[in-house]
């Protein structure tokens, strides 16, 4: 496993996305103090759970405490900036989601970090697919029926948790193809959005499976499609693409990635990358990944490929939609 991880690391390190490493020799005593994982979101969420599961594995491997620090706020900007400013000595690791590294480049004015130049990415985990849910009151059980409902009522109330977020881009993309009208209701996070959908205030919403599952299971919302691949708990629900939705956006999957500040010595980056990839074999980590319907950690080269592809697609779509930074 270590040899495979090393080969993948060497191949990936040649890619343009990953900035040059710092010193060529890492301190043999690394780590000589505790590690910290900076999470730009509150405790208790999916990103926090991923950080803690992988952090526990790292602690067992390096023999030092691994502390998870939640630096929430400003759509991930506060935490990512904190990680960027850290000493590049391999003791500070960023654990964040794709929107803070991709969408924020369009939606945040004067972003204080450059996702392509300020970090070296180690690995990532991706969701199986993002659920698209219609409120029970719509009677819709698939995309066609939801479009019919939208045309009947004239305009949809659609939930989102940020300008440029996945549910926002989703409804814009649907409307562009099918000509429906909608009003986006922005929320501070998924939980209040799904609460309003369950209460039938919203007509539809999209997001993570972990957050949407209670609504689907309670029957207050109907799973009408999936962005990405089919969801294992609902294998008969077709993806948006399978139902006729057109566009490369529908193939994207939200991801959570681990990164270190640029300049971190190559040997330390290599060790950390290999450890985080190997964490995918740990029973505790596997259980967490299964609970959230997440993939196994990707190797260095695959991490680069997905980051580059998703960045190119999402940034292009946001520009085409005319999304601007919020003032």
pLDDT digits (tens, 9 = 90+) for 211-247: 999 999 999 999 999 999 999 999 999 999 999 999 9
Q: Which of 311, 252, 213, 235 is nearest to 15 (CA)?
A: 311
- Mark whether 138 and 216 lie in a shared domain: yes
Residue 227 confidence (pLDDT): 95
Q: How far apart are CA 244 and CA 82, in angstroms?
A: 42
- 277 in any annotated domain: yes
Task: Give the ranges where the chain is alpha helix by DSSP (H).
Answer: 2-12, 46-62, 77-84, 98-101, 104-107, 143-153, 166-178, 190-198, 209-218, 266-278, 283-291, 300-320
Q: Report pLDDT for 164.
A: 87
Whether the per-residue pLDDT at 28 is higher than 70: the answer is: no
Give me 26's structure tokens. Answer: 């890492």
Range of the domain at 228: 129-251
Query: Do 258 and 218 have their domain in common?
Result: no
Q: What is the pTM of this model?
A: 0.84
Shared domain for 270 and 234, answered yes or no, is: no
106 and 193 co-located in one domain: no
Which tens digit of pLDDT belongs to each residue from 31-44?
Answer: 999 999 999 998 98
């Amino acid at each position: 496993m270590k040899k495979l991880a090393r080969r993948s690391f060497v191949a990936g390190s040649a890619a343009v996305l990953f900035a040059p490493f710092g010193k060529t020799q890492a301190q043999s005593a690394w780590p000589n103090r505790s590690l910290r994982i900076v999470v730009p979101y509150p405790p208790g969420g999916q990103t926090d759970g991923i950080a803690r599961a992988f952090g526990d594995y790292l602690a067992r491997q390096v023999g030092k405490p691994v502390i998870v620090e939640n630096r929430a706020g400003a759509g991930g900007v506060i935490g990512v900036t904190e990680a960027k400013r850290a000493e590049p000595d391999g003791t500070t690791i960023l654990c964040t989601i794709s929107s803070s590294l991709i969408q924020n480049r369009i939606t945040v004015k004067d972003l204080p970090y450059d996702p392509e130049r300020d970090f070296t990415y180690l690995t990532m985990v991706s969701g199986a697919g993002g659920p698209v849910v219609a409120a029970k009151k719509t009677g819709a059980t698939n995309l066609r029926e939801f479009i019919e409902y939208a045309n009947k009522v004239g305009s949809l109330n659609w939930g989102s948790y940020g300008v440029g977020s996945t549910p926002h881009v989703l409804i814009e993309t649907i409307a562009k193809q099918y000509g429906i009208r909608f009003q986006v209701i922005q929320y501070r996070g998924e939980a209040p959005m799904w609460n309003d959908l369950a209460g039938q205030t919203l007509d539809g919403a999209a997001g993570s499976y972990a957050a949407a599952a209670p609504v689907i299971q309670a029957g207050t919302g109907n799973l009408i499609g999936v962005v990405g691949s089919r969801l294992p708990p609902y294998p008969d629900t077709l993806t948006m693409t399978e139902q006729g939705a057109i566009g490369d956006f529908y193939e994207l999957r939200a991801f959570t990635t681990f990164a270190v500040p640029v300049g971190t010595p190559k040997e330390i980056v290599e060790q950390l990358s290999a450890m985080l990839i190997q964490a995918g074999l740990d029973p505790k980590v596997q259980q967490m990944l299964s609970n959230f319907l997440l993939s196994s950690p990707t190797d260095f080269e695959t991490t680069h490929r997905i980051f580059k592809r998703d960045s190119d697609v999402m940034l292009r779509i946001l520009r085409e939609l005319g999304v601007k930074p919020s003032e």
